[in-house]
Amino acid sequence: MGDNWRNRYESLTLHNPVEMNGFPYLPFPKHYPEYLPKDLVADWLEIYARYLDLDVWTGTEFFGADYDDQTGQWSARVRRADGHERVLHPKHIVLATGGIGGKPSVPDLPGLGSFAGKVLHSSEYTKAAQYGIERAIIVGAATSAHDIALDMSDNGVEATMIQRGPIVVNHVATANLAVAGFLNPEIPTKVNDIRFAVGMINPLREAASREYHAYAKALDGDLLKGLAAAGMRLGDGFNGLGWLDLFLRTGGGYYLNKGASERIIDGGIKVLQLDRMVEFVANGAKLDDGTILEADMVVLATGYHNRKVEVSEWFGSDVAERVGDIARLDSQGEWANLWGQTAQRGLWFNGGGFNMTRSNSFVLAMLIKADIEGLITDRFRRAPANSQSITVGA
């Protein structure tokens, strides 16, 4: 249990306070740190499953499933840890494999195949000390890129980030004014969750996000000036709505500062714009002035495909096109296909931050129960989507 967290890069932590991330029925100990490190999250998931005696099949591979409209059941193919294969026939499948996306996006970069050093996606990165390198190029400039660059810099590696587009940057404490300002330790968690959920309803969310982003820029003015002077391209997100809207809209394109920004300003981490790079060569990247930016490793912090790609692989392209994008803002400003009906009967999605799944899992469970009891008629089923998949990452 918890390996989807445990196997990420070593310096990863949550970016919202521990008070937001409590699990139902089993609160975190009061001495836990404000921003939980990934291994503590992983261990807690394991403890939680044991404490609640949840039926969890670890080491099980899911091959995919087909839906039978006549019986209203899936034929889901799995392989258990002992190698035994089974076909299960549930009426409902909930895909809870992450909110943003799980399949790495690997761009086609000129000359990358000729690079003689190690190339890996940020999802494969662990810690700088493991690789024995002196110089590294990180393609991307959002959260993973910053975290990895800071880890490298802390371990004596010369790290250069290649920025592909403008990003929104705020101090993590400033950023949490947008999502943790509703927290009140004097009232029940369920009430706090309702306060948060109300703030996510459009048009309230957009109006609040625009006002908050302007306020956050003023608070972090010195930081942003320093980053701009160091060569970082800064933006305001979609229509000036800042980082929270980007999280909901694309899942990337921002960094909530936990130390990397100061390192960039001090020159300990370099930032280079993509248009300066001509191509990769055997010993690094050739720049537009003819010089070589030498590197022993290239890390592709280039984001993830939408979960629609996973749906296509597991359930078929017809189902994927019918359902559309997952966890992206739809035409009504809602987070598409999460915690509600999809255009494929019997297929549901869960994801997002812990506080979001904590409250919305109840809604999802009630909808599944309503469907089982025949309370959701065809008249109220969701129509097929015609959305396009989005690749995230700065």
Instruction: Supply the range of the domain harboring residue 362.
Output: 92-103+322-394
Amino acid 389: pLDDT = 42
* 38 and 68 housed in the same domain: no
Specify which residues 273 forms β-bridges with.
Answer: 163
pLDDT of 220 reads 98
What local confidence, expressed as pLDDT, does residue 392 receive? 45
Do 38 and 117 lie in one domain? The reply is no
In angstroms, what CA-CA distances link 141 with 31, 184, 281? Answer: 33, 34, 21
Residue 165 CB neighbour total at 10 angstroms: 15
How many CB atoms are closer than 10 A to CB 77?
16
Point out the domain boundary residue: 241, 268, 300. Answer: 300
Residues 150 and 207 in one domain: yes
Q: What is the mean pLDDT of the chain?
A: 92
pLDDT at res. 394: 56
In a domain, 117, yes or no: yes
Q: Are residues 71 and 174 in the same domain?
A: no
Sheet strands side by side (includes 297-300): 118-121, 297-300, 135-139, 158-163, 269-273
Q: Is residue 316 part of a domain?
A: no
213, 240 in Cβ contact below 8 A? yes
Q: What confidence score (pLDDT) does residue 386 get?
A: 58
For 359-387, the pLDDT digits (tens) are 899 999 999 999 999 998 877 777 776 54
- Asked whether residue 308 is assigned to any structural domain, the reply reads no
Residue 151 sits in a domain of what CATH number? 3.50.50.60
The secondary structure of 184-246 as a DSSP string is -TTS-HHHHHHHHHHHTSTTHHHHHHHHHHHHHHHHTHHHHHHHHHTT--B---GGG-HHHHH
Task: For residue 305, tell me if it sits in a domain.
Answer: no
**Residue 200 pLDDT greater than 90, yes or no:** no
Give yes or no: residues 184 and 244 share one domain.
yes
Does residue 71 sit in the same domain as residue 97?
no
Same domain (yes/no): 280, 374 = no
Across 2-6, 338-342, 357-361, 384-388, least confident range: 384-388
What burial class does residue 390 get, using C-beta atoms within 10 Å of its C-beta: 0-12 exposed, 13-18 middle, 19+ buried? middle
Tell me the chain's radius of gyration from C-alpha atoms.
22
In a domain, 374, yes or no: yes
Verify that 142 and 249 share a domain, yes or no: yes
**Is 126 inside any structural domain?**
yes
Same domain, 363 and 260: no
Q: Are residues 236 and 358 in the same domain?
A: no
d(CA 272, CA 212): 29
249: in domain = yes
Task: Using alpha carbons, select from 145, 164, 97, 66 the residue that is nearest to residue 306.
Answer: 97
Phi/psi at 171 (nearest 5 deg)?
-60, 145
Same domain for 240 and 148, yes or no, is: yes
Q: Are residues 48 and 68 in the same domain?
A: no
Q: Is residue 4 a part of any domain in this protein?
A: yes
Distance between CA 320 and CA 315 in Å, rounded?
7
pLDDT of residue 393: 46
Q: What is the mean pLDDT of residues 59-74?
A: 96
Query: What is the average pLDDT across 176-183?
Result: 82
Number of domains forming the structure of the chain: 4
H helices within the chain, ranges in order? Answer: 3-6, 38-51, 143-154, 172-179, 189-199, 204-219, 221-229, 242-249, 260-265, 308-315, 317-323, 354-372
Residue 86 has pLDDT above 60, yes or no: yes
3-state secondary structure at position 390:
coil
